[in-house]
Chain A
Amino acid sequence: MKKNSFWSPYLAGAGLGFTLLASFIIAGQGLGASRAFTVVAGKALNAVAPAYTATLSYLSKYLAGSLFSDWTFLEVTGLLIGALIGVLISRGFKVRFDRGSAMSVGMRVMTAFGGGIILGFASRLARGCTSGVALTGGSQFALSGWVFVIAMFASGFLFAALFRRLWS
């Protein structure tokens, strides 16, 4: 997809900001994403190994209630639909395996999967991700949001200097 087929990040960001504000007004909570992953993965594990899942005390709060009564799961379902609408109207939809120019396909499987595991673990440790802590907390001037944003960018810059050939 050509770079200039996207909107200005300021315009898209303003739209995202109004969406976040609407979420506060309508639902009394901000946006989220990582919770949906924990709910789905927890329920999948529970289906495969219920005895083991029962021993994981941390998961209990994610297993209560059905999938379709979980606010964040439904919101992320909407996210998939909304993003699909966005990509279809701009004719940008294309099935592909996206990777850095210096990455082999095998290497990309490892970075996508390994990076994902780190993201999942880190979101649980930080009690949320870029949506739940950074955007939502940041706009509330919650200390958590700003601590997370600073730590995330500082760490990203540091590791990018170490892994220079990963994406650039």
Chain B
Amino acid sequence: MSAPFVLSETVNLAAAVVIGMFFGFFLERGGMGNPHKLTGVFYRTDFAVPKMMFSAILVAATGLCLLTDLKVLDMSRVWIIPTFLWPQLVGGALFGLGYLVSGYCPGTAAAGLASGRLDALVTMIGIGIGTLLFSALYPALAGFYNTSDMGTATLPELLQVNHWVLLAVVYIFAGIMFYFMERHERRGQATIVKTVLQAVPPSFDA
């Protein structure tokens, strides 16, 4: 029998809670409940978000490639995120604005609330209202929402390459990105240390 397992509804729903607990635990431990850390990437002061996001994508993608090739996991029974190119491009851009302004995204707002942040609760209420706004405007948006339907388009199919080739490209890209982020953060810290040292009197050395 190959995964995903055929579970009873009750077991599957209990699994959702447990999976969610790990999800929330790692988000919080990575600092993803903190809006200063979450927005740091956009001001190039803290790159925790892309570091964590790309680490997670690489681990999960490697696992998917391996388990699919070993026939342990049947990808045809896994829900693949469908592509609607234009709505997702515009939606993603709008999402970036909402993330910058609020300092959260839906999952991280929940992590923020769990760490005691009441501003995250305000954002969560806003998200709920935003989804209702979309529902109310749906008749006018339906045309755009359903354009450029590409189904379950995946990059290996579109580019006609093996998934391992693509995975290698993502590893190289992420590696280069991590290198420059580490270098940039070290430089930023060096500047802070220098400023602090200049601010304290010379007797500090003695």
Are B45 and A168 closer than 8 Å at their CB atoms?
yes
Are A77 and B17 closer than 8 Å at their CB atoms?
yes
Are A18 and B59 closer than 8 Å at their CB atoms?
yes
Given contacts A37-B131, A75-B17, A90-B29, contact A116 B83 (CB under 8 A): no
Give chain B interface residues in 3-61, CB to chain A under 8 Å. 3-5, 7, 9, 12-13, 15-37, 39-43, 45, 47-61
The residue among B56, B114, B128, B163 with the most chain A CB atoms within 10 A of its own CB is: B56
Select from chain B the residue with minimum beta-carbon distance to A69. B13
Are A122 and B98 closer than 8 Å at their CB atoms?
yes
Contact of B30 (CB < 8 Å), options: A7, A18, A58: A7
Are A117 and B130 closer than 8 Å at their CB atoms?
yes
Q: Chain B binding site: helix, strand, loop or mixed by DSSP? A: helix
In Å, the complex CA distance between A117 and B92 comes to 14
Are B98 and A80 closer than 8 Å at their CB atoms?
no
Are B55 and A14 closer than 8 Å at their CB atoms?
yes
How far does the Cβ of A38 sit from chain B's closest Cβ, in whole Å? 4
In Å, the complex CA distance between A115 and B99 comes to 7
Are A83 and B114 closer than 8 Å at their CB atoms?
yes
Are A139 and B56 closer than 8 Å at their CB atoms?
yes
Are B19 and A160 closer than 8 Å at their CB atoms?
no
Q: With an 8 A cutoff between CB atoms, is B90 at the interface?
A: yes
Q: What sequence of 0s and 1s flags, for each residue 25-46 of chain A, a beta carbon within 8 Å of any chain B beta carbon?
A: 1111111011011101110110
In Å, the complex CA distance between A59 and B9 comes to 23
Given contacts A13-B54, A125-B145, contact A86 B126 (CB under 8 A): no
Give chain B interface residues in 138-194, CB to chain A under 8 Å. 138-139, 141, 145, 150, 152-156, 158, 163, 166, 178
Give chain B interface residues in 65-89, CB to chain A under 8 Å. 67, 73, 77-85, 87-89
Contact of B87 (CB < 8 Å), options: A115, A127, A132: A127
Chain B residues with CB below 8 A from A150, complex form = 92
Chain A residues with CB below 8 A from B29, complex form = 6-7, 12, 15, 86, 90
Are A127 and B28 closer than 8 Å at their CB atoms?
no
Contact of A28 (CB < 8 Å), options: B4, B9, B54: B4
The residue among A57, A123, A146 with the most chain B CB atoms within 10 A of its own CB is: A123
In Å, the complex CA distance between A33 and B82 comes to 17
Top 3 closest A-B pairs, CB basis? A116-B126, A120-B130, A78-B20
Q: Footprint of A on B, CB under 8 Å?
A: 3-5, 7, 9, 12-13, 15-37, 39-43, 45, 47-61, 63-64, 67, 73, 77-85, 87-120, 122-136, 138-139, 141, 145, 150, 152-156, 158, 163, 166, 178
Q: Footprint of B on A, CB under 8 Å?
A: 1, 3, 6-7, 9-10, 12-31, 33-34, 36-38, 40-42, 44-45, 56-59, 68-69, 71-72, 74-87, 90, 92-100, 108-109, 111-160, 163-164, 166-168
User: Beyond the given A10-B55, A78-B16, A151-B95, could you list 13 further A-B residue pairs with CB under 8 A, ordered by the A residue number?
Assistant: A7-B29, A7-B31, A9-B48, A18-B60, A26-B12, A37-B127, A68-B13, A76-B20, A124-B135, A131-B107, A142-B152, A144-B88, A155-B95
